[in-house]
Amino acid sequence: MILKTDFIPKAFTTEIEQGNFSWSAPSNIALVKYWGKKPNQIPANPSISFTLNHCKTITKLSFTKIEKVENFSFDLLFEGKPKEDFKPKIQKFFERIEVYLPFLKHFHFVIDTQNTFPHSSGIASSASGIAALAMNLMSLEKLLNPEMTEEFFFKKASFLARLGSGSACRSVKGSVVVWGNHINFKESSDLFGVEFPTNIHANFKKFQDTILLVDKGEKQVSSTIGHDLMHNHPFSEQRFLQAHSNLSAIKIVLENGNLEEFIKIVESEALTLHAMMMTSMPYFILMKPNTLEIINKIWKFRNETNIPVCFTLDAGANVHVLYPENVSAEVLQFIKAELVGYCQNGQYICDKIGIGSQILV
């Protein structure tokens, strides 16, 4: 078993003056949701997600060796322009990971970042953004310690990403990623995400995710607050048990291709996530009227056509429409004819299952 202390490096073998890396990291969509955490970003229950292909953050990290400084030294650019309001999140991330990357105060960094999806689209960029930065920092650690194995590289990248934003640890490697200890996933860990251990069924290989942008505004309640409200929540214990059993069930489904069961688990997970929000104290609702309109339309379409299309939700009002590739034409026609009217400015993003973070040259 890997312990967090295994991620504290010993002495580095190489000296580096300056350089840069570029990584892209995708967003991901959870099928069994993470909602509720213990201290140090340890999840209260395990989760599983599809990594996306199109919605990504691309981050270039430039670094220059300096005399060790008191505070972290970095500039942050978003789409080429300085972005002061992103800095506190990075500062906090650096503080949390410094013990695992003790070289951080020995470099000045320029973090130049951009997303492939429109910003303020209501699509959280924290998972992809933090993952892209974690990948770059690991590339720098690998320069300092070239003996590092590839397996360790990706595990530690996911471990670091988790400390910036829980779900970011599922944006590092793999098209299906499990995070959190679960009895049926031998390699699973609370400390980092691991790739789904067996082959997924052909039904899921090119799975589609069309993201309907229902509300692009700032969320009224952040995920951090939402997670926190799972402490002393009247249904939390039951919910955490349910996530364990849904993960067991979805493992079987991803292997045998049973779309009917997949739909039941995924939609129930989405609604349970929002039910937890509605039954917190204070309670809150992140869905909008159009979220419900879309859900009802999807149910009606599925009943009438038997096409295996379903929805899931993040901590927001947008709807992820999930379906196998072989029904893409019918589902896209349905989306254009019946769902686009519920999207803000008619906006939606066509995405699909992807392969994780990539180094760019």
Other beta carbons within 10 angstroms of residue 85's beta carbon come to 8
Q: How far is the CB of 245 from ligand PMV (least distance, A)?
A: 16
Total binding residues toward ligand PMV, as defined by CB under 6 A: 15
Give me 206's structure tokens. 């090119």
Task: Rule CB under 6 A: say whether 121 interacts with ligand PMV.
Answer: no
Rounded to whole angstroms, the Cα distance separating 349 from 29 reads 13
Q: Among residues 90, 243, 315, 343, which is the contact residue for ligand PMV, using CB under 6 A?
A: 315
Beta-carbon contacts of 242 under 8 Å, excluding residues fewer than 6 positions away, are 272
**Contacts of residue 167, Cβ cutoff 8 Å, sequence gap at least 6:** 28, 30, 34, 47, 49, 124, 126, 127, 179
Cβ closer to ligand PMV: 22 or 59?
A: 59
For residue 35, the minimal CB distance to ligand PMV (Å) is 6
Specify which residues 42 forms β-bridges with: 38
| Per-position DSSP letters for 57-89, written without gaps between them | EEEEEEEEE-S--SS-EEEEEETTEE-GGGHHH
Q: Is 48 in the site for ligand PMV (CB under 6 A)?
A: no
Cα–Cα distance measured from residue 254 to residue 221, given in angstroms and rounded to the nearest whole number: 32
The rounded distance, in Å, linking the Cα atoms of 111 and 60 is 6
According to the binding rule CB under 6 A, does residue 190 interact with ligand PMV?
Answer: no
d(C-alpha 132, C-alpha 157), whole Å: 9
Query: Per rule CB under 6 A, is residue 314 in the interface with ligand PMV?
Result: yes
Instruction: State in angstroms the smallest separation of the CB of 62 from ligand PMV.
Output: 27
Among residues 26, 122, 166, 180, the one that binds ligand PMV under rule CB under 6 A: 166
CB 72 within 8 A of CB 40: no
**Nearer to ligand PMV among residue 322 and residue 331 (C-beta):** 322
Rounded Cα–Cα distance for residues 12 and 14 (Å): 6
- Show the DSSP H helices in 41-198 as ranges: 87-97, 126-144, 150-164
30 belongs to the binding site for ligand PMV (CB under 6 A): yes
* Binding flag, residue 171, ligand PMV (CB under 6 A): no
Residue selected from 128, 165, 208, 290 as contacting ligand PMV according to rule CB under 6 A: 165
Out of 7, 22, 33, 133, name the contact with ligand PMV by CB under 6 A.
Answer: 33
Using rule CB under 6 A, residue 246 touches ligand PMV: no
For ligand PMV, give the closer residue by CB, 167 or 291. 167
Residue 34 binds ligand PMV (CB under 6 A): yes
Q: Does 167 bind ligand PMV (CB under 6 A)?
A: yes
CB of 182 to ligand PMV, least distance (A): 14
Q: Binding of ligand PMV at residue 133 (CB under 6 A)? A: no
**Using CB under 6 A, which residues numbered 49 to 108 contact ligand PMV?**
none
Burial-class residue 289 by CB neighbours within 10 Å (0-12, 13-18, 19+).
exposed
- Which span (108-116, 163-171, 195-203, 324-332) binds ligand PMV, by CB under 6 A? 163-171
Stretch that binds ligand PMV, among 62-70, 136-144, 164-172, 343-351 (CB under 6 A): 164-172
Nearer to ligand PMV, 125 or 344 (CB): 125
| Dihedral angle sign, alpha carbons of residues 24, 27, 32, 37 | positive
Residue closer to ligand PMV (CB basis): 140 or 315: 315
Among 223, 236, 246, 357, binds ligand PMV (CB under 6 A): 223
Q: Does 47 bind ligand PMV (CB under 6 A)?
A: yes
Q: Does 126 bind ligand PMV (CB under 6 A)?
A: yes
Q: How far apart are CA 347 and CA 129, in angstroms?
A: 22
CA 4 – CA 63 distance, rounded (Å): 26
Under the rule (CB under 6 A), what is the footprint of ligand PMV?
30, 33-35, 47, 124, 126, 165-167, 223, 227, 273, 314-315
